[in-house]
Structure 1
Amino acid sequence: KEQLLGLYVLDCANQDEAIAAARDLKRVNPTAVYEIRPIMLYLPGATLAAR
């Protein structure tokens, strides 16, 4: 019943900035549902930053 219609990959400095971007997108398409997921860039040989 659900479909994946597309996704946006945004480079945000923090979660507040990501939420603000999702709110802006919601104004354009008020019936859509937006989910914020953090992703990390993987570079072979680079050490991963501690969270």
Structure 2
Amino acid sequence: MKRGEIYYADLSLTLGSEMGKLRPVLIVSNDISNRVATTVTILPLTSNVTRVYKG
């Protein structure tokens, strides 16, 4: 896994208001850590692109 790549991850184990189910995730941890660590840092993304939020 490399930083900037997108994968699908099962996020069904949640606490409180965390997002669940199978979701696309962006790898944000650095490549060196990704090679040696047993965990990676991810950013969950939405698969719903039809709904636009006004800021």
Q: TM-score, normalised by structure 1?
A: 0.26
User: Bigger relative contact order, structure 1 or 2, given CA contacts below 8 A and separation 6+?
Assistant: 2
Which structure dedicates a bigger proportion of its chain to strand?
Answer: 2
Structure with bigger gyration radius: 1
